Amino acid sequence: MTYVDLVLQKLSTDGDREAVIGGDTRLTRSQARDLLFRLADGLVQRGVKPGDGVAVYVGNTPEAVLLNLAVHLLGGRLVYVPPEPGPAELKALVERAEVAGVVVDPSFGEQIDGWHLQDLPGDPVERVPAPEFATVAYTGGTTGLPKLAVHRPNPLAATDPRAAMPPVTMLCNTLITHGSGSSMSKAALVTGSKLVLGPSTFDADTFVRLARDEQIAVTMFVPPMLYEVLDHPDCPGPQFGMVLVGGSPLAPRRLRQAIEKWGPVVNQGYGMTEALGIAMMPGTDIDLDRPETLRTVGRPDPAMEVEIRDGDVWVRGPFVMEGYWGEPPLSETADGWFNTGDMGYLDDDGYLYLNDRSKDVIVTGRTSDNVYSRLLDDFLVTLPGIRQAAAVGRPDEALGEVVHLFLVTDGQEDVDVDRIRDSVVAELGDLYQPRGVTIVDQLPLTKVGKVDKRKLRSQFR
């Protein structure tokens, strides 16, 4: 039995209950079930067979959620297409993914050609879900084309404990074609919950409205989204049963603020496209008097192994991808182990702490020491008037790189750069001393809503 069977079980009972909501569309369970079978039939009519790849270039709509499910129902290999870069790159990526077809939602973008999602539904032919399928997710990629991470069904999914959880109303804020949004939409459907889709590009006003009008109980943010909601004049009060925050570094001060606002329901998660669900720190284990509990990403999931090798976090287990498409599987090359590219350490009680992504570490000084940019980011937002901060390395002839800060202020008071420099040196030492500061209105974000340090660094190259 796969997660698709579990979803179908839920969609086959209480047909009039709402299942998936997005924009102006509100689908009941029976409407969602019908559309799921129609979309699967549309794919079959276009020649899609079990094992075939189907690329999807879609945004956050109920139809797109069901399309993704339909590909898995047929035993296909679902290939998510990133919302960027340009048409030529996307075409190359789709070619590399070796798919039988591409489904495009033109209202999301017209960067590539394919079968239009709106025209896809065929007949409502009921089909039994295939036992095997795969998902291919694009990774951020440092240069050139994103890499394609292949995930096969999680062997734990058949006994997915979430299936027994009571249904609630969940709001998905990230793209459903990213690991976070795809996990959230699956979790909602498997538990028979009502899935509310936020827009493909997050905005805090819409979040505030949906949280109130749809009475959201469970949601997930990447940190910059959380910060915008916390700073919003109509930020919701304590209405949530569970809030998950993860996907990029979460400033302890902001996590504290969220817990003070919403209670101990705010959990910090650590995962990535290549290894979904590595560790989680439950809000109930966070003690506001013990600051380290606001910094840790928690203990590794019991199903996952985590090792620190030369400062890098390595992982192995059922949530790790099989490998990159077109490359040998990790089981052949590394005995299943995967280097996350994150630097961190485990404490004596098995709690995992992340220092920085290795690409974001600033290597500076005559002895090429490591400055963990994230330590700076976390500290800077504790200073008065600073709302968001991103430290990056700026190339420097003498020192290799030097620390450069991008700051978003609250506009209330003038920012005194000398005072900031002094505070940084007093807290973190000379090595962390910023050599340049740029005040910006907002930090650039990736399409998933994370701070885009690559874009910040590119200003210097």
Cα distance between residue 174 and residue 85, in whole Å:
18
Nearer residue to ligand AMP within complex by CB, 61 or 248: 248
* Shortest distance in whole angstroms from residue 65 CB to ligand AMP: 19
Identify which of residues 121 and 140 has a Cβ nearer to ligand AMP in the complex.
140
Query: What contacts 24+ positions apart, CB below 8 Å, involve 331-340?
Result: 337/307, 338/274, 338/275, 338/314, 339/309, 339/312, 339/313, 339/314, 340/272, 340/274, 340/275, 340/278, 340/312, 340/313, 340/314, 340/315
Answer for the pair 107, 58: CB distance below 8 angstroms, yes or no.
no
- Interface residues toward ligand AMP, by CB under 6 A: 139-140, 179, 246-250, 268-273, 297, 340-342, 354, 357
Burial 438-460 (b: 16+ CB within 10 A, else e): eeeeebbbbbbbbbbbbebbeee
Min dist CB 384 to ligand AMP, Å, is 25
**Which residue's structure tokens are 């069901």?**
66
Pick 62 or 181: Cβ nearer ligand AMP: 181
With b for 16 or more beta-carbon neighbours within 10 A and e for fewer, the 1-38 pattern comes to ebbbbbbbebbeeeeeebbbbbeeeebbbbbbbbbbbb
| Residue among 270 and 379 whose Cβ is closer to ligand AMP | 270
Output 2 or 273, the one with its CB closest to ligand AMP: 273
End-to-end CA distance of the chain: 51
299 vs 280: CA distance, rounded Å: 6
Q: How far is the CB of 216 from ligand AMP (least distance, A)?
A: 21
Question: In this complex, which beta carbon is closest to ligand AMP, that of residue 77 or of residue 178?
Answer: 178
Smallest gap from Cβ 222 to ligand AMP, in A, equals: 8
Rounded least distance, CB 221 to ligand AMP, Å: 11
Q: CA–CA separation, 55 vs 283, rounded Å? A: 37
How do beta strands 101-104 and 242-246 pair?
unpaired
Q: How far out from the chain centre does Cα 128 lie?
A: 30
Q: Which amino acid is at 389?
A: A
Residue closer to ligand AMP, measured from CB, 194 or 453: 453
Judged by CB, which is closer to ligand AMP: 101, or 140?
A: 140
Report the residue number, 7 or 272, with the smaller CB distance to ligand AMP: 272
What's the one-letter identity of residue 369?
D
Residue 269: CB minimum distance to ligand AMP, A:
6
For residue 85, whether the previous peptide bond is cis, meaning omega lies within 30 degrees of 0, is yes
Q: Nearer to ligand AMP by C-beta: 114 or 298? A: 298
- Comparing CB distances to ligand AMP, the nearer of 139 and 423 is 139
Place of tokens 């996590």: 255
Smaller CB separation from ligand AMP, 1 or 308: 308
Q: How far is the CB of 390 from ligand AMP (least distance, A)?
A: 13
The answer to whether 404 and 437 have CB atoms below 8 angstroms apart is yes
Give the shortest CB-342-to-ligand AMP separation in angstroms: 5
Measured distance CA(267)–CA(412) in Å, rounded: 31
Shortest distance in whole angstroms from residue 446 CB to ligand AMP:
8
State in angstroms the smallest separation of the CB of 414 from ligand AMP. Answer: 31
CA nearest to 274, candidates 320, 325, 342, 335: 320
Task: Find the shortest distance in angstroms from Cβ 220 to ligand AMP.
Answer: 11
Of 146, 32, 209, give the one whose Cα is nearest residue 447: 146
